[in-house]
Chain A
Amino acid sequence: MDTLLSGFQILAQWEVLMALAIGSIGGVIIGALPGVGPAVAIAILLPATFAFEPIVGLTLLLGIYGSSMYGGAIPAILINTPGTPVNALTTYDGYPMTRRKEGHRALSLAYTASFFGGIFSVICLILLSPLLAVIAPHFGSREIFLAAFMGILLVVVAHRGQTFAAGMLACFGIFLNTVGLEPVKYTKRFTFDQSWLSSGFDLIVVVLGLFALSQAFLLLIEKDHAPGDAHVQGSMLAGMKELLGIKRIATVSSSLGVLMGMIPGVGEFTAQFLSYTYAQKTSKNPDAFGDGSPEGLVASEAANNAVPGAAMIPLLALGIPGEALTAMMLSVFYVHNVIPGPQLFETQLDFVMALYLALILLNVIVLVFLLFSTNLLLKIIQIPTRFLGMMILTLSFIGVYSLRNSITDCAIAAGFGVFGLILKRLNLPIVPIILGMVLGGIMEVKLRAAMAAVKTPIDFISRPIAAVIFVMIIGILVLHVRTLIREQKAKQKPEPVGPNYEHSSQQG
């Protein structure tokens, strides 16, 4: 209880509340703009947050992360264009409802399902925190190494149909992290005697290039278009009553969102896939799924909104980011010399509580904002895409240049911008590169530390948590191979080609 009160005190500072309000409302607007996801916004704002207290910077970024999916549902439902990639599934049932003149009902339901998912995940986290505080200290170097390895493995196998591409890009990320002067033996790695390579590739420069600059280039080159006009009428509160009738699906979907959010390398897409499949299988009206089913809409929105809160678990408890957005947030911790990990739960539980309370508050702020301003947002999102590209390119400069005032950084970021554009055009995933960079560094350090205490190979997995993670890794590999064999046996029809059949591989 004391910790909770202490968390309230941290949150009650005006800077934190201001950051929360700006982050939440800004996140909704960013999420509602097709073409700008939370990753772009977080990448741009990241260096600006270094000047703030860690809690202020993190609250701002958390606000954007947690609220963007609310905003992304608006264009997904009303104009069949997902605001963020994770709202793609929402178009499936949301847009058919709009065509049936039920756009207002769909939006209202999406907001309340998102709210339910968001709050559900934070309540789970608050209840789980004491348990985490007990378990987290048992994570030593070998456990963290195994968890980071599991994260890499999951991010590769989760990209079904693109496993090789995800694998090579994850390895590319690990490679990027190794470039430069290594800090233990002071040898140079892949510097080619170039002074600009000696300090290696900064994560933020790479992130800004891959997410923000690439998106700006893409929007500026592609044909200009502006999302169509739309308007909704009526109270947005009606969905609350309807959600009560679908509470089973909302609860299961949120639980799956929490579970998938907690596992590094998985995230929203898998949570949505599982919850949507569950909802469809247990529905009395499965044929309506994909054709405007409220249950499908709830499954999609509750699951994706439950993920951000849960994704903070591996980040805070173990210092392991599960996806690109939390990987970016990790750098905020590092800049302030706050090292997330087991000791954070032991010594700064009030800080963790403050973040959880911020998550609750952000859901409330966003819901209230959306109840009254949906039509205003529909006007804002009509910005022409090329104009948006100009805005992103202008803003990206601040992100890269303010780091070290380095022209080289800007050139590197621009290079990664072109690389990111190619990946986006080919629908190849960017997230494995970022996770490879971050988790590769963690694995290198933790393996070195862990092996000092390991005499025989079996020692590595002799502790209970290490053994459990090891079994999970084996399980993931076995399941993946089994799925591949099943698919082969089923002799699937040839792969269709073209945008109508695709699922985006991009995050943010």
Chain B
Amino acid sequence: MTRIKYFQELFQRYRRPGDLVFAVVFLLFALFLLSQLGEQTKWVKRTKWFGQPSLWPSIAVWGMVIFGAFHLLGSIVSPRIYGRLKEVVFWLRSLEYVLYFLAYVAIVPLCGYLPSTILFALFLTLRAGFRRPLHLTLAALFAVCVALIFRGFLQVKIPAGEIYQYLPEAIRAFALTYL
């Protein structure tokens, strides 16, 4: 029976460390948007209220401010949860992978989808701490399969790599179309 009581509680949501930081940043962002509302949206003459371009941005931004303020209030009045800084550092650690991802995006048009994907998968596997040849082989195999299925078989719209221009003529056309 006690587990049922807990189950009822399961459907409530609870705070986690870092909630206050998020609530503050979100409200500041919403207030910034509110300050820009007049500048960034237009109130057009001879147009009724429901056709105004600024109607829905106003509803959205005011909603963000009001709900955001109450959310922040809730965070302030709640007991402090320790580990705030650690949590924020965790969020910031994701930027490292954002950087890798964007580097991958930048090299695909140069090196081609297949070679870039193999490199990216191997690099991430090593970065994630896998050193065994089995893991590296599996990562490379995965990259080859992904590239062949999506670009080769499904013909997903990804440009051919500039590097393919320098391939021998016999395989250049194949690489430009399928790899």
A residues lining the B interface (CB < 8 Å) = 47-48, 51, 88-89, 92, 159-162, 164-165, 167-168, 170-172, 174-175, 177-178, 182, 184-185, 187-192, 213, 216-218, 220-221, 224, 269, 273, 276, 280, 286-287, 289-291, 384, 386-387, 389-391, 393-398, 401-402, 405, 407, 410-411, 414-415, 417-418, 421-422, 425-428, 436, 440, 443-444, 447-448, 451, 494-498, 501-503, 505
Contact = CB atoms under 8 A, between A and B. Distances in A.
Given A168-B68, A393-B101, A185 B42 contact: yes
B166 interface: no
Contact of A425 (B90, B106, B124, B138): B90
B104 interface: yes
Interface of B: 1, 3-4, 6-7, 9-16, 18-19, 22, 26, 30, 33, 36, 40-42, 44, 47-48, 50-51, 53-57, 59-64, 66-68, 70-71, 74, 78-79, 81, 87, 90-91, 93-95, 97-98, 100-102, 104-106, 108-109, 117, 120-121, 124-125, 127-130, 135, 138-139, 142-143, 146, 150, 154-159
Contacts of B138: 387
B98 A394 contact: no
18 contacts: A48-B154, A51-B156, A88-B10, A92-B3, A171-B59, A171-B60, A182-B53, A189-B53, A191-B40, A224-B128, A289-B4, A387-B125, A398-B150, A402-B150, A417-B101, A422-B22, A425-B87, A451-B48
A184 B51 CA distance: 8
Contact of B56 (A47, A185, A269, A444): A444
Give the interface SS of chain B, mostly helix, strand, loop or mixed. Answer: helix
A422 B10 contact: no
B14 A220 contact: no
Contacts of A503: 10-13
Contacts of B95: 418
A274 to B, nearest CB: 11
A394 B71 contact: no
A185 B61 CA distance: 20
A505 B156 contact: no
A383 B16 CA distance: 28
Nearest to B159: A405
B91 A421 contact: yes
Given A190-B57, A386-B129, A386-B130, A418 B98 contact: yes
Nearest to B19: A426
A171 B63 contact: yes
Contacts of B11: 160-161, 269, 273, 503
